[in-house]
Amino acid sequence: MLLALDIGNSNLVVGLFDGSQLQRCWRLAARSDSTVDELRFALGAMLAEVRGAAIDAVAGSCVVPALRPRVDAAVQALLGGPPFWIGPGSRTGLRIRYEQPKEAGSDLIADAVAAVARYGAPAVVVDFGTATAFVAVDRNATYLGSVLAPGVETAAEGLFAKAAKLPKVEVAVPSSVIGHHTVAALQSGLSYGAAALADGVVERIWTEMGEVTPVIATGGLAHIIAPLCRHLSHIDEGLTLSGIALIYERSVKRQMETTEGPHD
């Protein structure tokens, strides 16, 4: 089995794969100041729930550099070896059209890989996380680039910090777009505002690409925002983890082929 780690700015998402099938998924808060012991304890508690699972490998995507060596140490202590990290040289199956390929987020690359594998190319992915990130892939499986906007909760925290009289509210869909009290007004602005942002950016991406594509929503808030959108055709909360698993499989196969050399 493969343990896949998606380390983002807000959450550490962990998935357990049996072949290509995601068997279990856990989500916990990601803190850049987490210690090795805290991470080892958290991962160990997850693995205790699937006692007896034979984990052959660990692969991950990380956009929080400070956490990566600590996760390395925690995984090493639990399973005897460090994770495989997605990065330059990983086999994605995509052409990357980015001026600085190293700057393309490994989580967004994983999103694109899984989107093409599951839904075909061309495709657009909308990842509702700390940032609301859009990824465009053309019909030749070329990663064209991305659009990055503040995520729903990130925008909300900024609003609450600047407006002293506004209460903090959870991201939820109110009963009507027009709010009849402050909490509903805030929830409407956050949820329907995010949906309008998603639809508007997708339309502009389609215009630049010259065609209408499937649009896949993923990320921690996809289940809340995506149903409000006009253009999102699929909700796939396991998309990033599946992309990590695919990239690991492809990269390991290439490494094995390189090591073994040609056969007669």
Active site residues: 107
Rg (CA), the chain: 20
Residue 231 per-residue DSSP state: S
Residue (of 226, 221, 243, 233) closest to 104 by Cα position: 243
Q: What is the C-alpha separation between 134 and 243, in angstroms, rounded?
A: 16
Residue (of 144, 76, 89, 68) closest to 112 by Cα position: 144
CB 213 within 8 A of CB 206: yes
Handedness of CA 105, 144, 112, 133 (dihedral sign): positive
Q: What is the C-alpha separation between 146 and 103, in angstroms, rounded?
A: 11
Q: What is the C-alpha separation between 170 and 176, in angstroms, rounded?
A: 16
Q: What is the C-alpha separation between 122 and 101, in angstroms, rounded?
A: 20
Handedness of CA 93, 94, 95, 101 (dihedral sign): negative
Identity of the residue numbered 40: R
